[in-house]
Structure 1
Amino acid sequence: MYPHPPPPLPTCDYYIGIKRNEITPTRHFDNRLRICRPFLATMDELDKKMMKPLTQDFIEGCRKEYIPIGMKTKMKKSVCKTYNYATHVVSHILPVVSTIRNYKFKSFLINDIIAGLTVSFMQLPQGMGYAIVADLPIQTGLFMGFFPAVCYFIFGSSKHLSYGPIVVISLMFGSLMEIRFKSTEIILDSANHSEVSTLSTSSSETIFLSEEAYAKERLMFAAAITIISGITQLVMSICRIGALIKLLSSSIVSGFSAAIGFIVAINQLKNIIGVSIPRHSGFLSVPKTLFALCVQIPNCHYPELLLSLVSIITIYTVKSQINERFRHRLRIPVPIDLIIVIIITPISHALKLKENYNFKVVGHVPAGLSTPILPDISYANDYISDSISIGIVAFVYSISVCLIISRKEGYEVDANQELFAYGLTTMAVSCFGCYTPSGAISRSSVLVGCGAKSQVGGFVSGLSLLVMIFFAGPLLKSLPICVLSCIIIVALIKMMLEILSFPKIWRTCKSDGVAWLATFLAVLLISVDLGLLIGVVVGIISIIVRTYRVKAVPLGVLSNTNIFLDKDKYPSVTIPPGVVVVSFPSPIYYINADIFREEIDKRIKNMKGINVYPNDQMEETSQPKVIIDCSGITFIDGMGAITLKQLYMDYKTKDSSCFFSNVNEKVISVLKASKVFNTLKYAMYLTTYDAMMAAASETTDNTHL
């Protein structure tokens, strides 16, 4: 029994009338047509029936397929639709849901485990070295290998991004730490015989802190910077401005990377030669650091220098001659960084390098995780702009790595989704003694090379670091700091070699070369964040200059064709007498509108028409007819529309004509919005050849658009 009686079936003539578009169906019969599937499912069958009289048996067959939709069915469909939408939203916010749902354990798990373990072996010494660059405790580098990897596994969508510490962000944190705690000194409080420190603030008073409180102060400051940078990334994601990455050309990124490599390497030289120098920041910090190193060369600590040279040569040789040369044969690269740490640490402990030879060592590294803290933004009130810069730079580096690897591996990455993941991850790790993480190209390349299939590879590397945090930390007490500096310097060699790409960039495009050089020098001599900003500004200015300095191109038609070529490059092309064809390969907007008009007038003044049809006798006119090929004009603004109208009206008043060809839809829409289209529409043609024929025959009655 149906909950309500079915509506009467339409007649055969009704169906035939609808098929032949002779009858407009009512809503009542529309529903019947939708559910009479045997009648309407296959058009071939329907056409066959149209050729024969429709019988009542066929109509009865349609009746059997009619099942009225009851309340239960409607509720089921509504629930299914709601479930699908909720699943889509959850998968968008938490990509780990779709990762686990689609994970193929048999074919993916082994590769992900091998890749994750390899990255963890690589990240253990690098993380400690980056913590030194960031001027934070050694254990912070270990935490940076666990918390960001696990959080990104939950929120991230890239299959091969290794999210954790990188040298650029570490350097920016180290600079802020130096500025914030520049005048801090550890002194001995004679009253209670305990170490205390004095902290200079923006005010004139001096605050006395215990050593533990001083360390907590530094971590709270780092947490405040981190959460502000995470909020910046989250707001950028909400505002859908992930396309900001497009402002950074490859030349800017190359110059930025080269400068960062040199800055970090120069700052690590003090540990290599075993001297102490003041840390400089701000304008001309790199030359000041180099000068201080040169002054301290006579005081070089030769045992540390010797160990550093041996370590650098060993690490570089294995990476370049074994890992790089035999990367297609090796299932996993040789973890030479970890091997060096494992070999040198017990030797340092046995020989007592700190006591007997005055080596600087890592010292006590507490085992286990730190107590979660709640970041307080007030600790970074004076560093809001620096925190925002760190968030933007971290996003730029991460999304660059994502795009490089995703294009290589054949999957897509949404910049705004990734930005959302970065923001949530950064805000989460700020509570666990970490600083702003980012994507590392070296570790991500290792994940790809080891055959990682999903985000599980990064998750495995994080779990491996967790084990090392609990058990390996105390064992690293005797590790010389110079070894960590050697690991960092070798890892930076590829970044520093980016300087070799400058000659090629300069030869390819001078404006890109200028942007590269401006970014490199600004980062090297001023600061990291301002240097990147200067590079972006120079890149934008170079684009504007290129559109400002565009020159109009005279065109001519190739004989017996409708192909137009540059008349300066192909002198054999011709045009009818009294006609000038000019192309302007640039947008027309308020900056270059005057240049456009000047270039058109200049070309018209310099050109002379050549008759393409020798038998035709065309009278020379004092003012030639002008055809503007608009194929290179990608867009215009209001000023550009007015300029086109003025050009048209000026030639009209001179008893001449101006035609426009190959005008795209964006330009036409602006012309219509600015009320210029009605003036120019009879002078517009689909092709330049049509415009030339109209100009030659003086046929301007109808538009060809």
Structure 2
Amino acid sequence: MDDDVFDGNSPQICINRTAYNAKTLDETYPPTPALSIPQQVKSLLKSHCRFDGACIGRFFLARFPIFKWIYSYRLRRYLLGDILSGTTVSMLHLPQGMAYALLALQHPVYGLYTSFLFSFIYPIFGTSRHASLGTFAVVALLTSNAIREIATVATISNSCSMNNFTNISRNSTLAFTPDVLERIAIASTLTFLIGCIFLIFGVLRLGFISNLLSRPFTRAYVAGAGVHVFVAQIDTLFGITICDVIPTIFKVPYQLYFIAEQIVMLRITWLSIVISIISIIVLYIVKFLDDFLQKKKFPFPIPVQLVLIVIFTIASYFAKFEANFGVEIVGYIPRGVPSFMLPNPSYFLPLLDNAIIITVVSYSTGISMIQVLADKHDYKVDANQELFANGMCNFISSFFFSIPGSVSFSRSLIQNGSGGKTQLASIFAGFIILLCLVAIAPLFESLPTPVLASTVVVALHGLYLHVLDLPFYWKISKYDLFIWIVTFLSTVIINVEIGLACGLVVSLIVFVVRTILVSPVLLGNLASSELYVNVKEFEDVTVKSSVKIIRHSSPLYFANASKLKNFIMEQLPNNPSAEVDLGCGPALYRGVQHLRNRKNNKHIQLEQINSFKNSESTTANITTPTTPQDNMFVNKFCVILDCSCIPFIDSVGGTTLCDINSCLTKKDYLFYLTGASRGLREDLIRASGQKWENILECIFPSIQDALSALKQPTKHPLVRITLNPCLIQHALVKHGARESSV
């Protein structure tokens, strides 16, 4: 015998217990009584709605996390980092706020209002220490699509040019033209609806909805939306005007066609192109430089966006870019904070579907970034509270001339990399934005809009890199690759809303197809062990001719229940399905069946001889019920279904199992289930009704228990997995231990 088989340093398993079925197991170990639905609701309300001081205090701190992090704030450790981080992030808020407002078909000042309000509101309700909320490119793009659907034709036509922003009376801070006011009214109403939907989701505790959107889907969708954002900036980069009403379906192809037409006809502004090229080159050079400096642990990024804005604003002011060269500029920017306004109820119903889409996209993309930052710094974020925080940001800001906002990828990474420690960094950023609105914002009236468009293009650099996911998904999962490609192409070619729907539908179809394609497998006993494995994955396995053990590794429901039934029927002895499929006649079928029986009988005899030899050999180191003598079993064919990998069954799956049992019972065969969870067992009992009277006696906690039930009836059947006593003594002597009886 090989001494390595029983190496004293290797752990050994020895199990000796009574065999159970579901009935005897419940009698021996009574389960906890299952609560009815009313009892579950009562218990839930009791655990969450105790109106005592401690419960109310926990609820208050959960809804207003600012009191929690302010109480634990450490001035010496956190204050300097938060001040520097807030100042740095504010340098990004200013150009991105104006640029994303233009993307949303709004005046740039409304983007600053959004960044200002979100920076103050989120720290009160949010749980992330590094998230920077405000304007976001993808949300701004979806907002522009909603405005195009609702606004009048005159408004859309006028939105093609920024020159209308300059035709404004300066007697009032918000005395904009009617089309400007109409678009901000639509955007503010949309923001109000998004806030309400967020709050409803938070009350219902639907934070788990982000888990329903797979990573390939979200990354492909955001990348596709990034293409829309990029194409939407081309006309501003080239200084051309597209006044045709572009359809919402196949928007990108139409836009590219109109832009190409304008370029071919040389209806472009050469100075705008020069400004765009210079801005993009400088932004990319500094971006790569920032990446290099961050690797060298340099804490602060270079505020190149703000520097470009200042330089080109001064140049535009003195050279009169708009009057002399036709370059579009920002135009009049009112001084001060936004005034109060109410949402327009007439827009509620038309904007509802867009509000739901933006809410789902905003939360799913934002929570992923928040979770990444939280994992990096080892703290927890509350997904349900984040719904509430996003809802309050959008809800409150909707009353002050704001557009929908979300978590910004670039600003959040900058806030994290520049030394931010807590939510106080966002508050410092908000104070700087407020200072700009009160005193500095009018100085940017001469800012050329191509600079802002260049800022958007470069800021979306990370979204463009999502295309590099394709090689990864090709290696890991072709299903994820298919989801990525379909979502991306449908988003880019058709539309962002339809792309979202296509991605969700394809993800659902892929999930269903994968559960359908999972086939049941036949299990065999791995030599010298109690383990049962797929016979196709191992060579040295034993399969009893009288016992077929089958494993089903997916939910058992209407889509795959018949597949399991057919597979079990194929394992039955004297199954004529193969010969019938080949078109065999009765005589030929009987001949084939006779040869098969002779082969099976010969195989059984060889198994008996080998089993007898193994029982006399000292190398038989494990005795389990998985390799018993044939004469120890009841002379009946048995099918054992391992249910340990079945998470749930529906009514069709339960009925199918009952039909399989009825079919096998008519043939005088046995049908056992093993490893079924309690919920699965209760669902099956309800589905069986009177069709399976002795169902509890046919359900076993493990395969070994089911095999023990096949032995000749004994008063107390046992499940044994024991070591050979002689080998144990041999191991003890080998290691110098004192021999003892076993």
Q: Which range, TM-score by smaller chain?
A: 0.7 to 0.9
SS at match of 1:428: helix
Matched, 1:100 2:70: yes
Partner of 2:246: 280
Matched, 1:330 2:298: yes
Q: Is the 8 A contact 1:682 1:702 kept in 2?
A: no
Partner of 2:660: 647
Q: Is the 8 A contact 1:683 1:703 kept in 2?
A: no
Q: Is the 8 A contact 2:313 2:444 kept in 1?
A: yes
SS at match of 2:177: helix
Partner of 1:491: 459
Partner of 1:365: 333
How many angstroms apart in 2 are the aligned matches of 1:471 and 1:699? 93
How many angstroms apart in 1 are the aligned matches of 2:179 and 2:232? 24
Q: Which moved more, 1:270-279 or 1:490-499?
A: 270-279
How many angstroms apart in 2 are the aligned matches of 1:396 and 1:703? 54
Matched, 1:249 2:214: yes
- Partner deviation per Cα, 1:611-647 (whole Å, 9 max, x = no partner): 7652468499998421212221122123222222222
TM-score scaled by structure 1? 0.81
Q: Is the 8 A contact 2:634 2:712 kept in 1?
A: no
Superposition map of 1:161-200 within 5 A: 161-184=131-154
Partner of 1:686: 701
How far apart are 1:124 and its partner, in Å?
0.8
Q: Which moved more, 1:678-687 or 1:598-607?
A: 598-607
How many angstroms apart in 1 are the aligned matches of 2:87 and 2:713? 76
How many angstroms apart in 1 are the aligned matches of 2:378 and 2:693? 48
For 2:284, give the aligned amino acid. Answer: Y
Partner of 1:64: none
Q: Is the 8 A contact 2:139 2:405 kept in 1?
A: yes
- Partner deviation per Cα, 1:258-311 (whole Å, 9 max, x = no partner): 101111101101111121123624110110011111111231322221221121
Superposition map of 1:264-279 within 5 A: 264-277=229-242, 278=244
How far apart are 1:566 and its partner, in Å?
1.4
- Partner deviation per Cα, 1:553-607 (whole Å, 9 max, x = no partner): 1111111101112111212211223222211111112222112212333355689
How many angstroms apart in 2 are the aligned matches of 1:612 and 1:348? 94
Task: Indicate the structure whose relative CO is greater, using CA pairs within 8 Å and at least 6 residues apart.
Answer: 2
- Partner deviation per Cα, 1:114-155 (whole Å, 9 max, x = no partner): 111111111111111100100001101111211011111112
| Residues 1:318 and 1:655: Cα distance change in structure 2 (over 3 Å) | same
How far apart are 1:255 and its partner, in Å?
0.7
For 1:110, give the aligned amino acid. Answer: L
How far apart are 1:369 and its partner, in Å?
1.2
2:431 maps to which of 455, 463, 470: 463
- Partner deviation per Cα, 1:425-449 (whole Å, 9 max, x = no partner): 2110001111111111211111111
How many angstroms apart in 2 are the aligned matches of 1:337 and 1:612? 80
Superposition map of 1:660-679 within 5 A: 660-674=673-687, 679=694
Q: Is the 8 A contact 1:125 1:487 kept in 2?
A: yes
How many angstroms apart in 1 are the aligned matches of 2:467 and 2:684? 47
Superposition map of 1:388-427 within 5 A: 388-427=356-395
How many angstroms apart in 2 are the aligned matches of 1:602 and 1:318? 67
For 1:122, give the aligned amino acid. Answer: L
Q: Is the 8 A contact 2:709 2:717 kept in 1?
A: no
- Partner deviation per Cα, 1:358-377 (whole Å, 9 max, x = no partner): 21111121121121112222
How far apart are 1:487 and its partner, in Å?
0.7
How far apart are 1:161 and its partner, in Å?
1.2
How many angstroms apart in 2 are the aligned matches of 1:612 and 1:367? 93
Q: Is the 8 A contact 1:506 1:513 kept in 2?
A: yes
SS at match of 2:550: strand
How far apart are 1:693 and its partner, in Å?
4.9
Count of paired positions? 606
Matched, 1:297 2:250: no
Matched, 1:151 2:121: yes
SS at match of 1:394: helix
How far apart are 1:213 and its partner, in Å?
3.5
How many angstroms apart in 1 are the aligned matches of 2:529 and 2:568? 25
Q: Is the 8 A contact 2:649 2:683 kept in 1?
A: yes
Superposition map of 1:543-558 within 5 A: 543-558=511-526
How many angstroms apart in 2 are the aligned matches of 1:317 and 1:602? 67
2:228 maps to which of 263, 266, 270: 263
Q: Is the 8 A contact 1:128 1:138 kept in 2?
A: yes
Identity of matched residues, % = 28
CA RMSD of aligned residues (A): 2.8
| Residues 1:400 and 1:148: Cα distance change in structure 2 (over 3 Å) | same
Matched, 1:627 2:640: yes
TM-score scaled by structure 2? 0.77
How many angstroms apart in 1 are the aligned matches of 2:233 and 2:569? 60
Q: Is the 8 A contact 2:312 2:447 kept in 1?
A: yes
Partner of 1:445: 413
For 2:541, give the aligned amino acid. Answer: V
Partner of 2:54: 84
How many angstroms apart in 2 are the aligned matches of 1:128 and 1:432? 16
How many angstroms apart in 2 are the aligned matches of 1:412 and 1:390? 25
How many angstroms apart in 1 are the aligned matches of 2:285 and 2:659? 69
For 1:395, give the aligned amino acid. Answer: Y
For 1:691, give the aligned amino acid. Answer: A
1:110 maps to which of 55, 80, 85: 80
For 1:537, give the aligned amino acid. Answer: V
How many angstroms apart in 1 are the aligned matches of 2:717 and 2:340? 73
Q: Which moved more, 1:387-396 or 1:415-424?
A: 387-396
Q: Which moved more, 1:348-357 or 1:618-627?
A: 618-627
| Residues 1:701 and 1:551: Cα distance change in structure 2 (over 3 Å) | farther
SS at match of 1:472: helix
For 1:467, give the aligned amino acid. Answer: L
| Residues 1:293 and 1:166: Cα distance change in structure 2 (over 3 Å) | same
How many angstroms apart in 2 are the aligned matches of 1:133 and 1:312? 17
How many angstroms apart in 2 are the aligned matches of 1:423 and 1:699? 66
Q: Which moved more, 1:655-664 or 1:482-491?
A: 655-664
Partner of 2:31: none
Q: Is the 8 A contact 1:323 1:334 kept in 2?
A: no
- Partner deviation per Cα, 1:92-112 (whole Å, 9 max, x = no partner): 222112122221122111111
SS at match of 1:565: strand
| Residues 1:377 and 1:142: Cα distance change in structure 2 (over 3 Å) | same
- Partner deviation per Cα, 1:150-181 (whole Å, 9 max, x = no partner): 11111212211111110111001112222333
Partner of 2:671: 658
Partner of 1:234: 199
